[in-house]
Amino acid sequence: MSGAHIDDRIGDLLLGDVSDAERETLEAHVAGCARCNQELMQAADAFAALALALPAEAPPAALRARILDGIKPPRLHAMMDKLASLFDVGRAKARDLLERLDSPSEWMPGPVENSWVMMAEGCGPAVAGAFCGFVKMGPSVTWPRHTHLGREFMLVVQGGFKQEDGVEVHAGDLHVMEEGSAHRFTIFDDEACISAVVVHGGVSFDDGALDLGDLVK
C-alpha cells in the first residue's frame, strides 16, 4: 500500500472499522505519506466539527441506569477490606456479605426490640468456632448490659453507638471487648447501626429473660 493513497479508507480508519492488521498497515502508510497524513488530519477535524454540531441526545433512562449501576461502588464499599480481615475471607466474599445487608429476608429478629441478626456463613479458619454475623439496631435502641464470656470484635459498618461510660464508637471503628468485660450501649439517634461481629464464647445478659439462643453456641 506504500505506493497508493488511502483516500477510500480514511473514514474507516477514523471510525475504527478496520482490523488490527489493517490499522497497522494504514497508519504506517500515513506516517510515510505527507498527502494522506494531511487528508487524515482534515477528515478528523471534519468529524469533530460534525459531532459538535449535532444536538445532544440523552440516553434512554434504562440504559443510563444500567451504566451508572455498573460503575458505582457497592454500598459500604469502604468497609470491604476491614470486613474481609475481620471474617478472614476474600474481598469477593466480603462484598457479597455487604450487599446482603440491604435484603430484609436475610435478617432474623434479635433479642432486643427493633434489633435484627444476620449470620455470616463460610468465614475463614481464623474465626472458627466463633459466632460471625451482623447485628442491626434501630436509632436510639439500647443494647442491654451484658458480660462477654469470651473475646468479642465489633466492626461498625454503619451508624454508631455510645457506651454507658461515654465512649462513642463510629462507622469504621473496630471495638474489642475482652473476656469478662461488661457494657451497655445506645445507638445514635440519627440512623440505624449495623455492626459485623465475631463473638467467642457468647454473652450473658444481666436480664435473664434475654439471650442469643443458639446463635453463639
Residue-level pLDDT at 115: 94
- Domains of the chain are 7-53 (no CATH), 77-216 (2.60.120.10)
Contact (CB, 8 A) for 187 and 140: yes
Nearest to 155 by CA among 75, 80, 73: 80
Contact (CB, 8 A) for 177 and 152: yes
Q: How many residues does the chain have?
A: 217
The b-or-e profile of 55-91 (16+ CB within 10 A means b, else e) is eeeeeeeeeeeeeeeeeeeeebeebbebbbebbebee
C-alpha cell at 103: 435484603
Nearest to 185 by CA among 129, 112, 92, 127: 112
Contact (CB, 8 A) for 79 and 85: no
Beta-strand (E) ranges in 16-148? Answer: 108-109, 115-119, 131-137, 142-148
Averaged over successive runs of 10 residues, the pLDDT of the chain (217 residues) comes to 75 82 84 85 79 70 64 70 95 90 92 92 94 96 93 95 94 95 94 95 82 48
Nearest to 98 by CA among 194, 199, 216, 215: 194
Residue-level pLDDT at 37: 84
Torsion 42-47-51-53 (CA) sign = positive
Residue-level pLDDT at 217: 39
Residue-level pLDDT at 2: 47
Residue-level pLDDT at 8: 87
Residue-level pLDDT at 214: 40
pLDDT tens digit sequence for 113-170:
999 999 999 999 999 999 999 999 999 999 999 999 999 999 999 999 999 999 999 9
